[in-house]
Amino acid sequence: KITEAQLQSWLTTMGKKKMYKQLVFYVEACEAGSLFAGSPPIPGQYYVTASNAQESSIGTYCFP
């Protein structure tokens, strides 16, 4: 388990140390948007979440 503060610290450190050129971070979980809500943007980092900070994330499989 990782907390919002731990994740933000990790992402900030990676940005300061220039450990990437661009970073895309995907999170699939209920209220996933809360991990990044209110956080200042970090250059070169992009976040994709399955839900915003107040909604559930419901996965669905659709047959081809």
In-domain check, residue 56: no
**Residue 63 lies inside a defined structural domain of this protein:** no
C-alpha distances in Å from residue 9, one per residue of 3, 25, 47:
10, 14, 15
Q: Is residue 61 part of a domain?
A: no
Local confidence pLDDT in tens for the 64 residues of the chain: 888 999 999 999 999 999 999 999 999 999 999 999 888 899 999 999 999 999 998 877 778 7
Number of structural domains, the chain?
1
What is the secondary structure of 14-39 as a DSSP string? HHHTT--S-EEEEE-STTGGGGTTTP
pTM: 0.75
Q: Which domain holds residue 30?
A: 4-49
Residue with tokens 């559930």: 56
Domain-located, residue 42: yes
Residue 21 placed within a domain: yes
